[in-house]
Structure 1
Amino acid sequence: MTPEEIVAVRVELEAFAAEVFEAFARKDQRWWGGVYLRGLLTDGKRKSVEPMAARLGADGNRQALANFITTSPWDPAHIRARLAWRMEGAIRPKALVVDDTGFLKDGTASACVSRQYTGTAGKVTNCQVGVSLHLASDHASAAVDWRLFLPQTWDPASPKADPDKTARRKRCGIPDDVGHVEKWQLALDMVDETRSWGIEVPLAITDAGYGDAAAFRLGLNQRGLNYVVGISTTMSAQPGDAVPVAEPYSGTGRPPVPKYPDPARSVKQLVIAAGRSAARPVQWREGSRPGTGRSGHKRMYSRFVALRIRPAGREVRDATDGVELAECWLLAEWPATEPEPVQFWLSDLPPDTPLTTLVRLAKLRWRIEHDYREMKQALGLAHFEGRTWNGWHHHVTLVSVAHAFCTLRRLATAPKDTAPA
């Protein structure tokens, strides 16, 4: 970049920071928020406080930056709300996408660190897990809310509480009223918080870690949100045209409860029973690699089966308290090169929803993997070395602000007739 371009970007960044950081109560907080943001956007492998301070020159007061991010009593929700308002207009989101990511740790002193599964490592390992909510459309996405998952071992009220971990709560600054909450409930809490900011997006997208929970899907229904969620291959269901049948009633005693005549089958079995001939080809977007698509990029293309089904199982009945199971969409990806379907989604979108729409929405979750990759590799999402509850939430919030700034610049410079990769 030329010196003039560097100055222009600096001015643009200062204006963006002034808008988002207006929520800070004090002038010094707005200043150090801007400095930390510049530190995250500078070149350098590590984006923790000490190396950022070294790169920031005269503004690089290590102690002041550390105090701002770790101990300063500012509420990250105020910054996130400002960020969500700014990004809603730029992104024009189609969906709220919920996901989680791991923060790998060597030690045991950081808030909520435990041996637990994370898709980041693909195994059970020593880590923190953060749950995030993103505004997403086909061309852009932004993380606007976060929760740090607290395992049962950190919850004094849990039968699985670990005395060593619960003893560290005070040193980590974990509020007394924070206990273990399932990730899907944290997701619903973030949906509620985002809506309290005035962000109204009528669709939620998640992977199977959330989609398998009937209570989560019911929670979305109760909030008036449709969903397209990943599910496990073993989820059981009835065909969409199945009807409960009551046994003959003799007129004495309690009438028998209507039951489905056939046992429920797994979603994988239902798709296989429909057969490969039910699969239809769908292209959902242009990829980022060179190829034969109209934009010169590789086409993202596969074959999909869409069936109307009724999810079954005790969890569904407990959540809905109904006899007849609700009808919804089952979407399955079945590539021509595979002997069986490889991925499954559930959706309560209307029965006349086109297959292409179902596929494009299901595949929209890829944007969040892109967000995580950019925030971790370029912006230091996983580089926070502090150990406190507030410090973690402050850091991930400011990384989200830095990522949003990069997204806005990308949108501003992208050709008008193409969607940014």
Structure 2
Amino acid sequence: MQDELFPPAPGDSPERVLEELSTVLFESLPRSDQRRRGVEYVQGLLGVEGRKSIRNISSLFGGEAAEQSLHHFISGSTWDWSPVRRALARHLEELVPARAYVLRPMVIPKAGDSSVGVDRRFDPARGQMTNAQQAVGVWAVSDEHSTPVNWRLHLPEAWLDDATRRRQASIPESASAETMDQCCVEAYCGTVRDWGLPARPAVMDAREADVAGVVAGLRAVGAPMLLRVSANLRVAAVDPGLPRTTAETEMTAHQLMLVARPLRQPVIQRGPDGGGVHAGLTAAVKVRLPQRASRRPSRHGGLVLLGVGENGGRWPGELWLTNITDLHPAQLLRLIRATRRVEQDFARIAERVGVKDFSGRSFNGWHRHATLASAAHAVAVLSGTAEPAAEVASVPA
């Protein structure tokens, strides 16, 4: 089905879309040769088969001389990648306002230990510890597509405390130690606070996170949030619709949602193409986090624990914590679907344009590559040339 939210004009090709997009993206680059190299790099990410190395990309533009130029452009030049990302995010916001920003970690396995930020990390795709970089992508999500617009590379203390490593990788002095949770929050805050974009809901899988810390960080910038939480998260019900015996009693999110079973309501949703009706169940309970974790009262309203499941399935299927209290459960489920959309688009577009393929060592080089891979991703979306996606389920299994 033609994407209704990113409708390519008749006859629009990736080349034409890139030509129009590049005038916006590379306006901040001071020299014409830099702008030309930027376009070539994106063309290579879109056009080269297999791994998107600088050598493979340069094979489209003249071999060894082009390889040296592109290598310098990515790893040795001085152009600032942040304004390019900001331009991409604002351009997409003007075309199709995002419904949410999904915060998605990305693990990038590496063979050696010289790539900036590489460390022993758990790779969910492999189910094991591996040598890898790890970053967080901020994905602007519409109903039909999603595009990464910002990235934050997580740097372990082993890199930040090593003066030689910092110097060799050109890690900026402003970089300091942070947890992956903090990395996610800062990636979102940098997008909406520093770039002046609307504070769209931050959607994040926080099952392994310090939920109280994430909530506090997002609340500090007034962010709407929808966080998937684990069954073992401890909460206290403050909902008058529940029995008095549960009031202010701390229990796990799973236990509370079992108590709230009588509050379940049916929710009917259609798939992205108007078909594929899904019948589900939701229940919403007003909660607070334990006082010892929630160190100060919220200035942005209360929290709601949302249980989601399917008719005939186990209850609850998923648990989500949100401060968005003015939306119908069906609208919250629509935001939850954004995480499925990102997973699909990561596999069918982002990986195809080489978002994980940078083989250099420098901090700035990694960010420039990630920025231009995001631009290539946007071109694939805007031109309608991305591989078709399977329908995203409205209610989790």
Question: 2:370 matched to which residue of 1?
Answer: 396
Asked whether 1:272 is paired with 2:269, we answer: no
On the 8 A contact 2:138/2:148 being kept in 1, the answer is yes
Asked whether 1:356 is paired with 2:341, we answer: no
Separation in 2, partners of 1:242, 1:325: 20
Q: Which runs of 5+ in 1 are unaligned?
A: 157-164, 244-259, 288-292
Separation in 2, partners of 1:271, 1:96: 26
- The 1:390/1:285 distance shift into structure 2, 3 A limit, reads farther
Structure 1 position 77, deviation (Å) = 0.5
- TM-score, normalised to structure 1, is 0.80
Which one of 11, 16, 35 corresponds to residue 21 of structure 2? Answer: 16
Which one of 85, 105, 110 corresponds to residue 90 of structure 2? Answer: 85
Separation in 1, partners of 2:266, 2:209: 24
Separation in 2, partners of 1:307, 1:209: 18
For residues 337-387 of structure 1, give each alpha carbon's deviation from its aligned partner in whole angstroms, at most 9, with x where no partner exists. 54442321011122x532211211222222221332134431011111111
Asked whether 1:189 is paired with 2:186, we answer: yes
Structure 1 position 193, deviation (Å) = 2.8
Structure 1 position 116, deviation (Å) = 1.2
Separation in 1, partners of 2:209, 2:131: 25
- The 1:263/1:278 distance shift into structure 2, 3 A limit, reads closer
- The 1:23/1:262 distance shift into structure 2, 3 A limit, reads closer
- The 1:186/1:197 distance shift into structure 2, 3 A limit, reads same
Which one of 164, 171, 177 corresponds to residue 174 of structure 1? Answer: 171
Question: 1:317 matched to which residue of 2?
Answer: 294
Separation in 2, partners of 1:282, 1:103: 38
Separation in 2, partners of 1:326, 1:201: 16
- The 1:57/1:74 distance shift into structure 2, 3 A limit, reads same
Separation in 2, partners of 1:59, 1:34: 18
Question: 1:152 matched to which residue of 2?
Answer: 157
Question: 2:204 matched to which residue of 1?
Answer: 206
Which one of 231, 234, 240 corresponds to residue 233 of structure 1? Answer: 231
Structure 1 position 60, deviation (Å) = 7.0
Structure 1 position 239, deviation (Å) = 1.8
Structure 2 residue identity aligned to 1:390: N
Separation in 1, partners of 2:183, 2:335: 22
The structure whose residues are more often helix, as a share, is: 1
Higher relative contact order (CA 8 A, sep 6+): 2
- The 1:238/1:325 distance shift into structure 2, 3 A limit, reads farther
Local SS of the residue matching 1:383? coil
Separation in 2, partners of 1:334, 1:261: 24
Separation in 2, partners of 1:355, 1:341: 15
Q: Which runs of 5+ in 2 are unaligned?
A: 1-9, 393-397
Structure 1 position 142, deviation (Å) = 1.7
- TM-score, normalised to structure 2, is 0.84
Structure 2 residue identity aligned to 1:176: E
**Bigger-Rg structure (1/2):** 1
Separation in 2, partners of 1:210, 1:80: 28
Question: 1:107 matched to which residue of 2?
Answer: 112
For residues 47-74 of structure 1, give each alpha carbon's deviation from its aligned partner in whole angstroms, at most 9, with x where no partner exists. 1111111233479711111111111111
Question: 1:135 matched to which residue of 2?
Answer: 140
Separation in 2, partners of 1:214, 1:79: 33
> What are the equivalent positions in structure 2 for 1:401-416 lying under 5 Å apart?
401-410=375-384
For residues 280-303 of structure 1, give each alpha carbon's deviation from its aligned partner in whole angstroms, at most 9, with x where no partner exists. 44344526xxxxx754xx44x353
Equivalent residue pairs, number:
375
Local SS of the residue matching 2:19? helix
Q: Work out the percentage of aligned pairs sharing the same amino acid.
A: 28
- The 1:221/1:117 distance shift into structure 2, 3 A limit, reads same
- The 1:357/1:393 distance shift into structure 2, 3 A limit, reads same
